[in-house]
A and B are shown apart, each in its own frame.
Chain A
Amino acid sequence: MKNRLKIFYKKDGGIVQLIDKEKMKEWSIELPLIFTEYIRYNQLNSYNDPKLKKEIEKYLDEVLTDVAIPGLIEVLDGDNVEEVNKALVRIEELAKKNIEMVKPIKPYVEKLVKKNNKEVQKLSNSIINKFKKAERKKELAEKRKIMQEKEKLFLAGNLSGEEYAQARKEYLVLKE
C-alpha cells in the first residue's frame, strides 16, 4: 500500500505527518488551497521547530504549485462555463472567509472579467472587488499605524504642526 502520509521529523524525535499531495488530486478543486492555508495559519506555529516549519512550508508551497493552483487554473481556463461558474462561486466563498487564501489565483480571475458571459463577469468582478477592498484595508491599517506614531511624535514636540497636518490629510483622504 502506498503511504498516504508524508513524514516530517522533529528535533526531539517526534514527527508530523501530512497527507500526500498525490491524494489531493482526487479532491474537489478548492480543497487543496483550503488545506495549505489551514496548515499554514493554524498548525505551523504549534510545531516549535524552525527547521521543521521551513520544511513543511516548502511542502505546502509544493502543494500549492503542483496541485491547488493547477487544479483551479485548469477549470478557470477551460471552456466549460458551468464548471467555471462553480469554481468562481467556491473562490468567492473562500475570499469572504480569507482573502489571502485565494491570492495566488488573482491573475486568472482578472482575465475572466473580460469573458463574454454575464454570470462569469459578475462573479469575477465580485472577487476582484474583494481583493481591492482587502488591499485598501491593508493599506489603511499600515497608514493608521504610521499616523499613531506621528501623533506620538507630534505630542512629544518632535514633529512640526505642518508635517502632522500633511500626514493627517493623507490619512483622511485614504480613509474616505
Chain B
Amino acid sequence: MSSKTESKIWDLKAAKKLFQEYLKKSIEEKKKEVKLPENTVKINNLNKQQTLERIYKLTDSLIDMIYENGRPSIKLPSRSSTNIIWDEENDLLLLGQQIMEKQFHSLGSVADMTRLMKVLEKVNELLIKDMHATKREIFYSSVQLFGDQKNSDKCIEDVATMLYTTRNSTHIVASAKGSCIGRLRIRDRNDIIDLEGLGSGGWTISPMLDNIEILESDAEFILVLEKDAAMIRLSEARFWRKYPCIILTAKGAADIATRMFLRRISKELQLPVFTLVDSDPYGHYIHSVYLRGSKRLSYESPFLATPDIKLLGVLTRDLEKYKIPNDCTIPMNQTDIKRTKEMLNEDFVKKNKAWETDLKLALKLKVKAEIQALSTFGFEFLTDQYIPEKLSTGDWI
C-alpha cells in the first residue's frame, strides 16, 4: 500500500443511513424509557432535593432503630459478582436483588459504620451548599478516619447504593479526565461553550454534568476514541469540519463522567455512536464498558451505558484487510490470550456473532495492534481513509 493517501471527501453512506434510521425511529416512537427486569435493583438519578429527602428518610430510620433496640443497621444491594446480571433485552449489566446488611452491633463495626456516616454527612453538606467534591477531597476530609482512600471510595459507592441513586446525584464526582471536540454547543451554568472553538485540546468533560445542557448541534454521528493520540490526529485534521460529528475520548479506560456525558449526548441528540479502540482485548473491553457498563458500577449501568454503540475498529480482520505490516503488530502475551478467552465467555459477546468471530480470529492469529499502527501508511491515513471508508461501507460490528 502506498504511504501517500489522497485527501478526498468520502460520502459516509452507511453512517448516514444509520443516522437517518435513528432519526426516523426517534420521531416515530420517541425514545422509549428503559424498562428493567423485575429481579434487578432500580436506581434513580435524583436532583438535589430528592437526594436530601432520601438521606433524611434513611437517618430517621436509623434513629428509630437506635431508640427501639440500640442496634441500628443499614440494608443495601450487594455489589458482589454473584449479584451481577446481564439484562439481555436492554443489553445492560445490572445488580440483582441480593441484599447485604451493615450492622452496628459490635465494636468491630464501629470504624466501618463511622466512615459510612462521615461520607453521608459530607454528601448532605455538598447538597445543601450546592457544591461538588472529588473522591480525593472526601478522603482528605477525614484522613485519620479513612486511613486509605480505598476505604473512603468504598463508602462513597455504598452511600450511593444505599440511597438507591447514582454517584453523581450525591455530588461526589471523579476528576475530569475525558475531552470532547466537534459540532456541539453546550451550556455550563451561565456560560455558552462552543466545542469547535477551544483549540486542539477540546473541552475537558465536566464531572458536574448536572450543570451541563446541550444547546445546539448539527452533528450526524459521535466517534469515541480510546486514545488521546488518535484524538490529536483527528483534532489536527479538523475531522468534524469535513464530516459533521462529535469526537470524544476518556484517554484510556472509560471514566464515569465521560460515559455519562456520552450517554447524555447520544440519547438527547439521537445520534449513532462508533468506537475506535486498539485491536486488543483491553480495547474490546473498553468498548464493552461504554456499551453495557462495568461490573463494578453495574448498579448505575442504566445511567452510564450507551447501548447500540458500533465497534468501528481497529478490528482484527482490519489487520489483514488493510495489510498492516507484521512489524506494526504485536504478538499477544499470555495475559492477552487469557483476557480474550474471558471476553469470549461473556454472554454479551456470545450473542454478537461478528464480535465473537473477530475475537476468535485474534486468538487464532495471536496478534494485537494499536490504532497508531495505521500511521504506517502516513499520518493522514486514519482521518483521510480508514475512518471515512469504514463509515462509508458500514464496516463495523
Q: Which residue numbers of A lie inside 8 Å of B, CB to CB?
A: 1, 3-5, 7, 10, 13-19, 23, 28, 30-31, 34-35, 38-39, 42-43, 46-47
Q: Is the CB of B31 within 8 A of A1?
A: yes
What would 13 A/B residue contacts be, using CB atoms closer than 8 Å?
Answer: A1-B30, A1-B31, A1-B33, A3-B26, A10-B218, A13-B20, A17-B217, A18-B216, A30-B190, A35-B187, A35-B192, A35-B215, A42-B194
Q: Are B244 and A4 in contact (CB under 8 A)?
A: no
Expressed in whole angstroms, the Cα–Cα distance for A13 and B22 within the complex equals: 13
B218 contacts which chain A residues (CB < 8 A)?
A: 10, 14-17, 46-47
- Of A19, A28, A34, the residue contacting B213 (CB under 8 A) is A19
Closest to B215 in A: A19
B256 on the A face (CB < 8 A): no
Which residues of B sit under 8 angstroms from A19, Cβ to Cβ?
213-216
At the interface, is chain A mostly helix, strand, loop or mixed? mixed
Binding site for A on B (CB under 8 A): 16, 20, 23, 26-27, 30-31, 33, 185, 187, 190, 192, 194, 213-218, 220, 244, 268-269
Q: Is the CB of B220 within 8 A of A14?
A: yes
Closest to A4 in B: B268
Tell me, in angstroms, the Cα distance from A34 to B188 when the chains sit together: 13
Cα A47 to Cα B190 with chains together (Å): 25
Q: Which of B187, B216, B220, B269 contacts A43 (CB 8 A)?
A: B216
B48 CB → nearest A CB, Å: 14
Chain B proximity of A60: nearest CB distance (Å) = 11
A58 CB to nearest B CB, Å: 16
Interchain CA distance A39-B216 in the complex, whole Å: 8
Q: How far is the CA of A30 from the CA of B191 in the complex (A)?
A: 11
Given A4-B268, A30-B190, A42-B194, 18 further pairs, Cβ under 8 A: A4-B214, A5-B214, A7-B23, A13-B20, A14-B220, A15-B220, A16-B218, A17-B216, A17-B218, A18-B215, A18-B216, A19-B214, A35-B192, A35-B215, A43-B185, A43-B216, A46-B218, A47-B218
Q: Which residues of B are found within 8 Å of A7, using beta-carbon distances? A: 23, 27
Q: Flag if A34 contacts B192 (CB, 8 Å).
A: yes
Bound complex: CA A22 to CA B73 (Å) = 45
* Distance between Cα atoms of A47 and B183 in the complex (Å): 12
Which residues of B have CB within 8 Å of A13? Answer: 16, 20
| A64 → B minimal CB distance (Å) | 15
A23 to B309, CA, bound (A): 28
List 9 tightest A-B contacts by C-beta distance, closest first: A16-B218, A19-B215, A18-B216, A17-B217, A38-B192, A14-B220, A4-B268, A17-B269, A28-B190
Contacts A13-B16, A35-B192: A3 and B214 contacting too (C-beta < 8 A)? no
A135 to B192, CA, bound (A): 27
Assess the A5–B269 pair: CB atoms within 8 A.
Answer: yes
CA distance A4 to B216 in the complex (A): 11
What are the residues of chain A within 8 A of B192 when measuring CB–CB? 34-35, 38
* Assembly CA distance A59 to B34 (angstroms): 32
Partner of B268, one of A5, A28, A30, A38: A5
Cβ–Cβ < 8 Å partners of B26 in chain A: 3
Whole-angstrom CA separation of A13 from B268 in the bound complex:
19
Which B residues lie within 8 Å of A34 (CB)? 192
- Please, how many angstroms separate the alpha-carbon atoms of A7 and B187 in the complex? 18
Tell me the nearest residue of chain A to B32, going by C-beta.
A1
Q: In whole angstroms, how far apart are the Cα atoms of A46 and B185 in the complex?
A: 13
The minimal Cβ–Cβ distance linking B14 to chain A, given in whole angstroms, is: 14
CA A39 – CA B215 in complex, angstroms? Answer: 10
- In angstroms, Cα B16 to Cα A10, docked, is 13
Q: How far apart sit A7 and B219, CA to CA, in the bound complex (Å)?
A: 12
CA distance A46 to B219 in the complex (A): 13
Q: Which residues of B contact A42 (CB under 8 A)?
A: 194
Query: What are the residues of chain A within 8 A of B31 when measuring CB–CB?
Result: 1
